[in-house]
Chains A and B, each alone.
Chain A
């Protein structure tokens, strides 16, 4: 055994000289305080390590020890409802141990080893199990049953099972004897290297939406379960709010929310708000399905890079149990910048704007982990990834936005101008897109309404026409336009203000069912077509706007709760009455 020690220190990067102890990507312990680090490059002379914690006070000559594995985390019950740092240490335990401020070298196990879990063994002696098979379950939260699966590299005939009942996480639940007579002991914990995707049986086509209750998403730019979306936008345009809205309302089974290089207060807020919110379906607090990863902007940069992988590994673990997982990453730009910073310290050749040349492949590897899958135990599960992008100067031509675009299929472009007007969500309907619409058409027809996509198409078309007309209005004003064009402007304004704008703070406008979204479109389009007939007959459009009907429909989102669809009948009547006076 060689004595490996620190040779040089430069911020979060240290080197060890003349050693062959370590492997690339291996996790190592650095210094007397055993700070976590990862080997990022190796030459014959120097092994370079990025340290996940503050290197302040570290000295050359302090020991560096090998862990024998690449950067890994423990997986098991107790992940849900929890909040971890970027490398999987539970922040509540750290606060208990060291107080409000986080010191370098804080220790903490991802999985609490003392807590008792109510375990139910699902296999019997002599069953044969292989990688991925479920051998026991634990009711992890009121909402979620945790399914314990045979880890990679293990399998064989069951030769021992513990009794059902309360057990600690490290206790052996099942023993498997493999063909070579080797006995594997399975507890409630397994480890997984975070940069490696967990295996599945196969990738499936997906044709189901992730329903978010946000009209501009569900109707205009939907995302599938297993899909990948990006939310780019300048500061203050609403990336975090949108992701919080999805985390609260989307119809995934599990939410993994990664705060990567963002604000501490936002994580505090998520902790508070999610525990106050009750899931409408189950009546349980939303935290029951949620795990938070917090690597805030003032925490060490290298751990920012790890936080994304920690998050997606946890997502895959729950997917493997047969759950639909939605992962929010806020913000992937901070992650890319962490790559850039470390790369700079390694004196690698930079590509665009100082980002390393492998930015694109890293982004691809990350988004590639989204998908709809058949798991090893032949269930279906999915991971939907929604990544925020924080472009420099809100300019979407920068490398992170551009490279991300290659790997996602829904693009929700947030617009500073809309945010200035407080048009929220500030999703720009001209720049955004979703390539999932066709895939979802059957689902929408069968589960919402045959006409859903037709209505969507009409709305899109009207907004497009409005966009063109606005160019003219900017030059000559609207008063000179012919009446049919005035109608398009007015109906589009109704669509923008009454439909696309959605109030996250309103009791029932915060989340809107697909049925209500459909009905709202239908009433708006009904008004459009009826008004169009009148305008066609040469009756002055001014008479229609004077009826105040546009205003009334603008406010219907606040009048009709999600569970009273009959109220829409009144709105068709309102339209009829308003227009019949004119006819």
Chain B
């Protein structure tokens, strides 16, 4: 039994300092008994000889210098785990909060995890069919990937994440639908967000395969730093001990980072860009790098972190550093959202870095890569045509550019726009893509081999599909003599 210490030397929210402490390790967990008998938790974050600085997760309000009993637990922060976590709800530190009593515990794990050896990783290649065209065709999600949603206040990122959970066949393609699970980590979001997820997961009938860790906006800020770590430790446990394919949804990375900023400034550290600590990159990496697949293990950890970009600014340090760590990003567009399109996924800045090895024959379909390249290239020309139109007026555009403008509208309204309940097969998605490209003159499709075009380019069919008579298209385009 370790010593209990009765007095504090100093309280400086969220830190407390003790003196005369012996045999305490860096990062060790601390229990603090308040004068009224209630318990708080903390972690050693600084040691100077026999003086120790402790970060208190629940904050230091009400802690007195006398009458506070501090005991050191002899180990770093751990979480108790067993397969029975599935279907349960916990606080950010892993205490059950669903009223279903204590958890039966198989083993304790350090929530900080350990770096996965690159030679022990399996490079992720299996695509996850989400049924959402803009994702499946253009930013394909791969099992074991970390692919965040970059969003903004008021945009439907939660709906999108839930649609992915409902529709994604993460494990089915491996013939193991019972191996699918979701770990959900709420960090600083409002109660209604957590409720939305709870309700939707229930409606989807998967609640018994979900573990939730909730640190809501009114919960202690410092605990927010632990929440994703607890959640990811659980995900790794289920993936690598129980061979499950785990989808981790973490929301919101921005609130998490702000908690880190608050904590850092309370320690008096030198702030970096926008007040965030210089180690924000490393800290976020210690979360995101925990996605992956381990050699010799049956499961996988796929992460979909949700991040609301302050002021919709993608160059803000939080989305910026995240983008440097994750394997791509799905960016939501305020503009498309305001046009009433769902999901409002901004095609051009969105990217899946792992898709290049996970699409094509054997994975999706042979023509997938060519279609993707061409859609990106053609849609980016739409932007040029639009900005030119805004200067000289649409009427003055060249015939080709007018066609791009029309293509852009059709693309946004029919391909990107899909609705929260619609689940498209990959074949439908790819065929739809080709139909849209067929609205453009064939010579414009310069990213695609002629043989592929011979097979997939068919403007007549496209006109029929979108119910445009060629004449009416011509008239709509205001063209003469074609």
Binding site for B on A (CB under 8 A): 7-10, 17, 55-61, 83, 91-92, 94-95, 99-103, 234-236, 259, 261, 263-265, 267-269, 271-272, 294, 296-299, 301, 334, 337, 340-341, 344, 350, 353-354, 390, 392-395, 420-423, 473-479, 497, 505, 548, 551, 554-555, 558
Contact residues in B for A92 (Cβ distance below 8 Å): 119
Q: Given A350-B270, A473-B388, are A297 and B398 neighbors across the interface (CB < 8 Å)?
A: no
Residue of A nearest to B347 (CB): A420
Tell yes or no: B373 within 8 A of A by CB: yes
A61 to B396, CA, bound (A): 79
Contact residues in B for A423 (Cβ distance below 8 Å): 377
Tell yes or no: B427 within 8 A of A by CB: no
Which positions 319-356 of chain B face chain A at CB distance < 8 Å?
320, 323-325, 327-329, 348-349, 351, 353-354, 356
User: A-facing mask of B295-324, CB < 8 A → 1, else 0?
Assistant: 111000000000000000001110010011
Q: Which of B121, B122, B271, B401 has the most CB of A within 10 A?
A: B121
Number of residues on chain B facing chain A (CB within 8 A): 79
A-B contacts, 16 of them at CB < 8 A, read A9-B46, A55-B27, A56-B110, A57-B27, A57-B28, A59-B23, A60-B49, A100-B116, A234-B323, A261-B281, A298-B116, A420-B348, A422-B377, A474-B387, A477-B392, A477-B398
Residue of A nearest to B317 (CB): A392
User: A-facing mask of B361-391, CB < 8 A → 1, else 0?
Assistant: 0000000010001001100100000011001
A175 to B50, CA, bound (A): 52
Q: Given A100-B295, A297-B285, A420-B349, are A344 and B278 neighbors across the interface (CB < 8 Å)?
A: yes
Residue A263 contacts which of B325, B380, B388 (CB distance < 8 angstroms)? Answer: B325
Which positions 122-137 of chain B face chain A at CB distance < 8 Å?
122-124
Interface of A, helix, strand, loop or mixed by DSSP = mixed
Q: B320 touching A341 by the CB < 8 A rule?
A: no
Q: A264 touching B270 by the CB < 8 A rule?
A: no
Q: Given A57-B28, A58-B25, A59-B25, are A272 and B282 neighbors across the interface (CB < 8 Å)?
A: no
Q: B117 touching A354 by the CB < 8 A rule?
A: no
A264-B121, A267-B121, A478-B398 are known; give 12 further A-B pairs, CB within 8 A. A8-B49, A9-B47, A59-B25, A101-B116, A234-B320, A236-B328, A259-B118, A263-B289, A268-B123, A474-B391, A548-B443, A558-B449
Residue A390 contacts which of B120, B123, B324, B396 (CB distance < 8 angstroms)? Answer: B324
Tell yes or no: B26 within 8 A of A by CB: yes
Residue A102 contacts which of B117, B273, B356, B397 (CB distance < 8 angstroms)? Answer: B117
Tell yes or no: B420 within 8 A of A by CB: no
Q: B278 touching A354 by the CB < 8 A rule?
A: yes
Contact residues in A for B353 (Cβ distance below 8 Å): 236
A390 to B118, CA, bound (A): 22
Q: B121 touching A477 by the CB < 8 A rule?
A: no
A211 to B48, CA, bound (A): 55
Measured between C-beta atoms, what is the minimum distance from B325 to chain A in Å? 6
A353 to B357, CA, bound (A): 38
Q: A235 touching B26 by the CB < 8 A rule?
A: no
Residue of A nearest to B378 (CB): A421
Residue B315 contacts which of A55, A271, A393, A421 (CB distance < 8 angstroms)? Answer: A393
Q: A505 touching B121 by the CB < 8 A rule?
A: no
Q: A102 touching B26 by the CB < 8 A rule?
A: no
Tell yes or no: B115 within 8 A of A by CB: yes
Contact residues in B for A57 (Cβ distance below 8 Å): 25-28, 75-76
Q: A421 touching B380 by the CB < 8 A rule?
A: yes
Residue A264 contacts which of B46, B47, B292, B329 (CB distance < 8 angstroms)? Answer: B292
A91 to B289, CA, bound (A): 17
Q: Which of B271, B369, B446 has the most CB of A within 10 A?
A: B446
Residue of A nearest to B391 (CB): A475
Contact residues in B for A60 (Cβ distance below 8 Å): 24, 47, 49-50
Residue B279 contacts which of A83, A298, A301, A475 (CB distance < 8 angstroms)? Answer: A301
Q: Given A7-B49, A58-B25, A265-B123, are A94 and B282 neighbors across the interface (CB < 8 Å)?
A: no
Q: Given A353-B273, A475-B391, are A341 and B380 neighbors across the interface (CB < 8 Å)?
A: no
Contact residues in B for A10 (Cβ distance below 8 Å): 46-47
Q: A268 touching B118 by the CB < 8 A rule?
A: yes
Q: B76 touching A56 by the CB < 8 A rule?
A: yes
Measured between C-beta atoms, what is the minimum distance from A505 to chain B in Å? 7
Residue of A nearest to B398 (CB): A479
Measured between C-beta atoms, what is the minimum distance from A337 to chain B in Å? 6
Q: Given A354-B272, A474-B387, are A235 and B115 neighbors across the interface (CB < 8 Å)?
A: no
- For the complex of A and B, 4 pairs with smallest distance between CB atoms: A297-B285, A393-B315, A100-B120, A235-B323
Q: Given A344-B270, A551-B443, are A421 and B113 neighbors across the interface (CB < 8 Å)?
A: no
A578 to B397, CA, bound (A): 27
Q: B377 touching A83 by the CB < 8 A rule?
A: no
Q: A100 touching B449 by the CB < 8 A rule?
A: no
Contact residues in A for B48 (Cβ distance below 8 Å): 7-8
